Structure 1
Amino acid sequence: MLILVTGGAASGKSAHAERLLCASAAGARLYLATMQPFGAAAETRIARHRALRRDKGFETVERPLGLAGLELPRRYDGILLEDLGNLLANELFDPAGAGEAAFGSTLAGIARLQDCCETLVVVSNEVFSDGLAYPPETAAYIRTLGRLHAALAARADAVYESVCGILLPLKGEKGI
Protein backbone atom coordinates (compact mmCIF):
# COMPACT_ATOMS: atom_id res chain seq x y z
CA MET A 1 0.00 0.00 0.00
CA LEU A 2 1.23 3.49 -0.88
CA ILE A 3 -0.07 6.56 0.96
CA LEU A 4 0.90 10.15 0.07
CA VAL A 5 0.45 12.88 2.69
CA THR A 6 1.06 16.49 1.62
CA GLY A 7 0.64 19.83 3.30
CA GLY A 8 2.16 23.20 3.92
CA ALA A 9 4.81 23.98 6.52
CA ALA A 10 3.68 23.23 10.09
CA SER A 11 0.35 21.83 8.83
CA GLY A 12 0.50 18.66 10.92
CA LYS A 13 1.31 16.42 7.94
CA SER A 14 4.08 14.53 9.74
CA ALA A 15 1.93 13.72 12.76
CA HIS A 16 -0.88 12.58 10.46
CA ALA A 17 1.54 10.42 8.47
CA GLU A 18 2.87 8.78 11.64
CA ARG A 19 -0.67 8.10 12.82
CA LEU A 20 -1.68 6.60 9.46
CA LEU A 21 1.36 4.35 9.40
CA CYS A 22 0.96 3.24 13.01
CA ALA A 23 -2.69 2.39 12.30
CA SER A 24 -1.87 0.32 9.22
CA ALA A 25 1.46 -1.28 10.21
CA ALA A 26 1.35 -2.92 13.63
CA GLY A 27 4.72 -4.65 13.38
CA ALA A 28 8.17 -3.42 12.42
CA ARG A 29 8.22 0.23 11.35
CA LEU A 30 10.99 2.28 9.81
CA TYR A 31 11.28 6.06 9.77
CA LEU A 32 13.42 7.09 6.81
CA ALA A 33 14.71 10.62 7.40
CA THR A 34 15.98 12.67 4.45
CA MET A 35 16.80 16.06 5.99
CA GLN A 36 20.43 17.06 6.01
CA PRO A 37 21.26 18.90 9.24
CA PHE A 38 22.42 22.20 7.76
CA GLY A 39 22.19 24.82 10.49
CA ALA A 40 20.38 25.33 13.76
CA ALA A 41 16.87 25.42 12.25
CA ALA A 42 17.37 22.00 10.63
CA GLU A 43 18.81 20.58 13.85
CA THR A 44 15.75 21.88 15.76
CA ARG A 45 13.33 20.29 13.26
CA ILE A 46 15.20 16.97 13.38
CA ALA A 47 15.12 16.96 17.20
CA ARG A 48 11.40 17.77 17.17
CA HIS A 49 10.62 14.91 14.80
CA ARG A 50 12.73 12.49 16.85
CA ALA A 51 10.80 13.48 19.98
CA LEU A 52 7.44 13.12 18.21
CA ARG A 53 8.13 9.54 17.13
CA ARG A 54 9.76 8.45 20.38
CA ASP A 55 7.97 5.44 21.90
CA LYS A 56 6.10 4.69 18.64
CA GLY A 57 8.23 1.69 17.73
CA PHE A 58 10.13 3.21 14.81
CA GLU A 59 13.62 2.24 13.79
CA THR A 60 15.32 5.23 12.14
CA VAL A 61 17.54 5.39 9.09
CA GLU A 62 18.91 8.71 7.89
CA ARG A 63 19.37 8.71 4.13
CA PRO A 64 19.39 12.07 2.33
CA LEU A 65 20.29 10.64 -1.11
CA GLY A 66 20.25 7.53 -3.24
CA LEU A 67 17.20 5.64 -2.03
CA ALA A 68 17.33 3.27 -5.00
CA GLY A 69 20.60 1.87 -3.63
CA LEU A 70 19.45 1.60 -0.03
CA GLU A 71 19.92 -1.83 1.52
CA LEU A 72 17.68 -2.34 4.52
CA PRO A 73 18.41 -5.00 7.16
CA ARG A 74 14.97 -6.61 6.79
CA ARG A 75 11.43 -6.25 5.48
CA TYR A 76 9.16 -3.84 7.37
CA ASP A 77 5.43 -3.76 7.95
CA GLY A 78 5.57 -0.01 7.38
CA ILE A 79 8.01 2.68 6.24
CA LEU A 80 7.51 6.42 6.63
CA LEU A 81 9.54 8.55 4.20
CA GLU A 82 10.04 12.03 5.69
CA ASP A 83 10.12 13.86 3.32
CA LEU A 84 9.91 13.95 -0.45
CA GLY A 85 10.67 17.68 -0.74
CA ASN A 86 13.94 17.35 1.16
CA LEU A 87 14.91 14.21 -0.75
CA LEU A 88 14.32 15.92 -4.09
CA ALA A 89 16.27 19.02 -3.06
CA ASN A 90 19.16 16.83 -1.94
CA GLU A 91 19.12 14.89 -5.22
CA LEU A 92 18.96 18.07 -7.30
CA PHE A 93 21.40 20.33 -5.48
CA ASP A 94 23.86 18.15 -3.53
CA PRO A 95 27.00 17.48 -5.60
CA ALA A 96 26.62 13.76 -4.77
CA GLY A 97 22.96 13.77 -5.86
CA ALA A 98 21.35 12.63 -9.10
CA GLY A 99 21.17 16.15 -10.55
CA GLU A 100 19.09 16.25 -13.74
CA ALA A 101 18.17 12.57 -13.20
CA ALA A 102 16.57 13.37 -9.82
CA PHE A 103 12.98 12.67 -10.95
CA GLY A 104 13.73 9.13 -12.11
CA SER A 105 16.14 8.45 -9.28
CA THR A 106 13.57 9.53 -6.70
CA LEU A 107 10.81 7.39 -8.23
CA ALA A 108 13.18 4.41 -8.37
CA GLY A 109 14.02 4.95 -4.71
CA ILE A 110 10.36 5.01 -3.74
CA ALA A 111 9.73 1.83 -5.75
CA ARG A 112 12.66 0.25 -3.89
CA LEU A 113 11.09 1.22 -0.55
CA GLN A 114 7.76 -0.26 -1.62
CA ASP A 115 9.55 -3.56 -2.25
CA CYS A 116 10.78 -3.47 1.36
CA CYS A 117 7.42 -3.05 3.14
CA GLU A 118 3.70 -3.66 3.19
CA THR A 119 2.79 0.03 3.69
CA LEU A 120 4.79 3.05 2.57
CA VAL A 121 3.72 6.51 3.70
CA VAL A 122 5.41 9.39 1.85
CA VAL A 123 5.28 12.86 3.38
CA SER A 124 5.68 15.84 1.07
CA ASN A 125 5.28 19.60 0.91
CA GLU A 126 2.78 21.83 -0.83
CA VAL A 127 4.97 24.59 -2.26
CA PHE A 128 2.97 25.39 -5.37
CA SER A 129 0.58 28.19 -4.52
CA ASP A 130 2.43 31.27 -3.32
CA GLY A 131 2.48 32.90 -6.77
CA LEU A 132 6.03 34.19 -6.45
CA ALA A 133 8.59 34.26 -9.24
CA TYR A 134 11.64 32.14 -8.43
CA PRO A 135 15.12 31.72 -9.91
CA PRO A 136 15.28 29.01 -12.60
CA GLU A 137 16.78 26.39 -10.26
CA THR A 138 13.99 26.82 -7.71
CA ALA A 139 11.31 26.85 -10.40
CA ALA A 140 12.75 23.57 -11.77
CA TYR A 141 12.63 22.08 -8.25
CA ILE A 142 8.96 23.09 -7.86
CA ARG A 143 8.05 21.64 -11.27
CA THR A 144 9.84 18.39 -10.50
CA LEU A 145 8.18 18.09 -7.09
CA GLY A 146 4.82 18.63 -8.81
CA ARG A 147 5.63 15.85 -11.29
CA LEU A 148 6.58 13.56 -8.41
CA HIS A 149 3.31 14.35 -6.62
CA ALA A 150 1.34 13.55 -9.79
CA ALA A 151 3.22 10.28 -10.37
CA LEU A 152 2.87 9.15 -6.75
CA ALA A 153 -0.78 10.20 -6.48
CA ALA A 154 -1.59 8.16 -9.59
CA ARG A 155 -0.01 5.06 -8.02
CA ALA A 156 -1.13 5.69 -4.44
CA ASP A 157 -3.88 3.80 -2.70
CA ALA A 158 -4.64 6.93 -0.66
CA VAL A 159 -3.71 10.61 -0.87
CA TYR A 160 -4.27 13.15 1.90
CA GLU A 161 -3.63 16.85 2.36
CA SER A 162 -3.07 18.28 5.81
CA VAL A 163 -4.47 21.81 6.17
CA CYS A 164 -4.17 23.61 9.51
CA GLY A 165 -3.99 20.27 11.32
CA ILE A 166 -7.02 18.82 9.51
CA LEU A 167 -6.41 15.75 7.36
CA LEU A 168 -8.39 15.92 4.11
CA PRO A 169 -8.77 12.71 2.09
CA LEU A 170 -8.23 13.33 -1.62
CA LYS A 171 -8.03 9.75 -2.89
CA GLY A 172 -8.74 6.41 -1.32
CA GLU A 173 -11.40 4.91 0.89
CA LYS A 174 -12.80 8.26 2.05
CA GLY A 175 -11.62 10.35 -0.89
CA ILE A 176 -12.42 10.38 -4.60
Structure 2
Amino acid sequence: MGGKDAGGKTGVVGIMDFGKPGYTVALRFDMDANDLMELADDSHRPFRENFSSINEGAMHGCGHDGHAAMGLGIAEVLAEMKDELIGKVKLIFQPAEEGARGAKCMTEKGIVDGVDYMLGVHLGLNAQKTGMVACSSASFQESIKTNAVFKGISAHAGAAPQQGRNALLAAATLL
Protein backbone atom coordinates (compact mmCIF):
# COMPACT_ATOMS: atom_id res chain seq x y z
CA MET A 1 0.00 0.00 0.00
CA GLY A 2 1.33 3.46 -0.84
CA GLY A 3 -0.71 5.36 1.71
CA LYS A 4 0.22 8.60 3.42
CA ASP A 5 2.76 6.89 5.69
CA ALA A 6 4.63 5.25 2.81
CA GLY A 7 5.11 8.53 0.93
CA GLY A 8 5.01 6.91 -2.51
CA LYS A 9 8.00 4.65 -1.88
CA THR A 10 6.36 1.29 -2.45
CA GLY A 11 6.45 1.05 -6.24
CA VAL A 12 7.41 -2.06 -8.16
CA VAL A 13 8.93 -2.26 -11.64
CA GLY A 14 9.26 -5.33 -13.81
CA ILE A 15 11.40 -5.13 -16.95
CA MET A 16 10.83 -7.59 -19.75
CA ASP A 17 13.77 -7.56 -22.17
CA PHE A 18 12.95 -9.55 -25.29
CA GLY A 19 16.58 -9.70 -26.41
CA LYS A 20 16.11 -7.97 -29.76
CA PRO A 21 16.61 -4.25 -30.47
CA GLY A 22 13.48 -2.14 -30.36
CA TYR A 23 11.60 0.49 -28.44
CA THR A 24 11.23 0.59 -24.69
CA VAL A 25 7.58 0.85 -23.78
CA ALA A 26 6.42 1.57 -20.24
CA LEU A 27 3.00 0.58 -18.95
CA ARG A 28 1.93 2.29 -15.72
CA PHE A 29 -0.58 0.86 -13.25
CA ASP A 30 -1.70 2.30 -9.92
CA MET A 31 -1.29 -0.15 -7.07
CA ASP A 32 -1.95 1.62 -3.83
CA ALA A 33 -4.92 2.12 -1.59
CA ASN A 34 -6.58 5.45 -0.84
CA ASP A 35 -6.74 6.91 2.65
CA LEU A 36 -10.44 6.16 3.03
CA MET A 37 -12.59 4.16 5.41
CA GLU A 38 -14.40 1.45 3.48
CA LEU A 39 -18.11 1.06 4.17
CA ALA A 40 -18.76 -1.96 6.38
CA ASP A 41 -22.35 -2.93 5.64
CA ASP A 42 -24.19 -5.13 3.17
CA SER A 43 -25.10 -2.21 0.88
CA HIS A 44 -21.39 -2.13 -0.13
CA ARG A 45 -20.68 -4.99 -2.54
CA PRO A 46 -17.02 -5.56 -1.53
CA PHE A 47 -18.11 -5.92 2.10
CA ARG A 48 -21.12 -8.08 1.21
CA GLU A 49 -19.00 -10.42 -0.96
CA ASN A 50 -16.04 -10.43 1.42
CA PHE A 51 -13.38 -8.69 -0.66
CA SER A 52 -13.24 -5.32 1.10
CA SER A 53 -10.08 -3.98 2.66
CA ILE A 54 -8.88 -5.56 5.88
CA ASN A 55 -6.77 -2.46 6.62
CA GLU A 56 -8.65 0.17 8.58
CA GLY A 57 -8.54 3.56 6.86
CA ALA A 58 -7.26 2.18 3.55
CA MET A 59 -9.33 1.03 0.60
CA HIS A 60 -8.99 0.52 -3.13
CA GLY A 61 -11.64 3.15 -3.79
CA CYS A 62 -10.31 4.11 -7.20
CA GLY A 63 -9.97 0.61 -8.61
CA HIS A 64 -6.25 0.30 -7.99
CA ASP A 65 -6.57 -3.38 -7.15
CA GLY A 66 -8.09 -3.74 -10.64
CA HIS A 67 -5.23 -1.72 -12.13
CA ALA A 68 -2.66 -4.02 -10.52
CA ALA A 69 -4.60 -7.07 -11.74
CA MET A 70 -4.58 -5.68 -15.30
CA GLY A 71 -0.83 -5.11 -15.11
CA LEU A 72 -0.18 -8.66 -13.94
CA GLY A 73 -2.50 -10.00 -16.64
CA ILE A 74 -0.65 -8.04 -19.32
CA ALA A 75 2.67 -9.34 -17.97
CA GLU A 76 1.36 -12.88 -18.29
CA VAL A 77 0.25 -12.32 -21.91
CA LEU A 78 3.60 -10.68 -22.81
CA ALA A 79 5.48 -13.60 -21.27
CA GLU A 80 3.48 -16.01 -23.43
CA MET A 81 4.35 -13.93 -26.54
CA LYS A 82 8.02 -13.33 -25.65
CA ASP A 83 9.42 -15.02 -28.76
CA GLU A 84 7.38 -12.71 -31.03
CA LEU A 85 8.35 -9.42 -29.32
CA ILE A 86 11.29 -7.02 -29.60
CA GLY A 87 12.65 -4.26 -27.38
CA LYS A 88 11.73 -3.92 -23.72
CA VAL A 89 8.57 -3.42 -21.70
CA LYS A 90 8.69 -1.78 -18.29
CA LEU A 91 5.69 -2.67 -16.15
CA ILE A 92 5.47 0.14 -13.60
CA PHE A 93 3.26 -0.43 -10.58
CA GLN A 94 3.08 3.07 -9.13
CA PRO A 95 1.94 3.99 -5.63
CA ALA A 96 0.45 7.27 -4.46
CA GLU A 97 -1.24 8.29 -7.70
CA GLU A 98 -3.73 10.70 -6.13
CA GLY A 99 -1.16 12.74 -4.24
CA ALA A 100 1.37 12.81 -7.10
CA ARG A 101 3.99 11.47 -4.68
CA GLY A 102 4.48 8.16 -6.49
CA ALA A 103 5.17 9.51 -9.97
CA LYS A 104 7.65 12.05 -8.64
CA CYS A 105 9.47 9.48 -6.51
CA MET A 106 9.67 6.91 -9.30
CA THR A 107 10.77 9.49 -11.87
CA GLU A 108 13.51 10.71 -9.54
CA LYS A 109 14.70 7.09 -9.18
CA GLY A 110 15.16 6.90 -12.98
CA ILE A 111 12.32 4.45 -13.60
CA VAL A 112 11.23 6.18 -16.84
CA ASP A 113 14.75 6.93 -18.11
CA GLY A 114 15.18 5.48 -21.60
CA VAL A 115 11.44 4.98 -22.16
CA ASP A 116 10.32 5.70 -25.72
CA TYR A 117 6.56 5.35 -25.19
CA MET A 118 4.52 5.31 -22.01
CA LEU A 119 0.92 4.27 -21.51
CA GLY A 120 -1.15 4.56 -18.35
CA VAL A 121 -4.49 3.00 -17.55
CA HIS A 122 -7.35 3.81 -15.24
CA LEU A 123 -10.61 1.96 -14.73
CA GLY A 124 -13.98 3.43 -15.51
CA LEU A 125 -13.14 6.64 -17.34
CA ASN A 126 -15.66 7.38 -20.09
CA ALA A 127 -16.43 3.72 -20.63
CA GLN A 128 -20.15 3.39 -21.30
CA LYS A 129 -20.46 -0.39 -20.87
CA THR A 130 -18.48 -3.45 -19.85
CA GLY A 131 -15.83 -4.38 -22.39
CA MET A 132 -15.53 -0.86 -23.77
CA VAL A 133 -12.11 0.82 -23.85
CA ALA A 134 -11.84 4.61 -23.83
CA CYS A 135 -8.58 6.19 -25.00
CA SER A 136 -7.14 9.67 -24.72
CA SER A 137 -3.79 11.31 -25.33
CA ALA A 138 -4.66 14.26 -23.08
CA SER A 139 -3.04 14.59 -19.69
CA PHE A 140 -6.38 14.80 -17.89
CA GLN A 141 -5.13 12.85 -14.87
CA GLU A 142 -2.01 14.90 -14.42
CA SER A 143 -1.83 16.91 -11.24
CA ILE A 144 0.57 19.34 -9.68
CA LYS A 145 0.72 19.88 -5.96
CA THR A 146 2.23 23.01 -4.44
CA ASN A 147 2.67 23.88 -0.80
CA ALA A 148 2.40 27.56 0.03
CA VAL A 149 3.01 29.20 3.38
CA PHE A 150 1.54 32.63 4.11
CA LYS A 151 2.93 34.65 6.97
CA GLY A 152 1.21 37.76 8.16
CA ILE A 153 1.50 40.49 10.73
CA SER A 154 -1.51 41.08 12.91
CA ALA A 155 -2.87 44.56 13.36
CA HIS A 156 -5.98 46.13 14.78
CA ALA A 157 -8.52 46.28 11.96
CA GLY A 158 -10.14 49.48 13.24
CA ALA A 159 -7.22 51.44 14.67
CA ALA A 160 -4.20 50.60 12.48
CA PRO A 161 -4.99 48.19 9.60
CA GLN A 162 -2.14 49.64 7.55
CA GLN A 163 0.37 48.14 9.99
CA GLY A 164 -0.71 44.59 9.28
CA ARG A 165 -0.23 42.05 6.54
CA ASN A 166 -3.30 39.90 6.08
CA ALA A 167 -2.11 36.36 5.38
CA LEU A 168 -5.66 35.03 5.13
CA LEU A 169 -6.57 37.58 2.46
CA ALA A 170 -3.40 36.69 0.52
CA ALA A 171 -4.25 32.96 0.67
CA ALA A 172 -7.86 33.61 -0.39
CA THR A 173 -6.65 35.78 -3.28
CA LEU A 174 -4.32 33.01 -4.46
CA LEU A 175 -7.13 30.48 -4.45
Q: TM-score, normalised by structure 2?
A: 0.27
Bigger Cα Rg: 2
Question: Higher helix share goes to which structure?
Answer: 1
Q: Normalised by the size of structure 1, how large is the TM-score?
A: 0.26
Q: Which has the higher contact order (CA 8 A, sep 6+)?
A: 1
Structure with the higher fraction of residues in strand conformation: 1
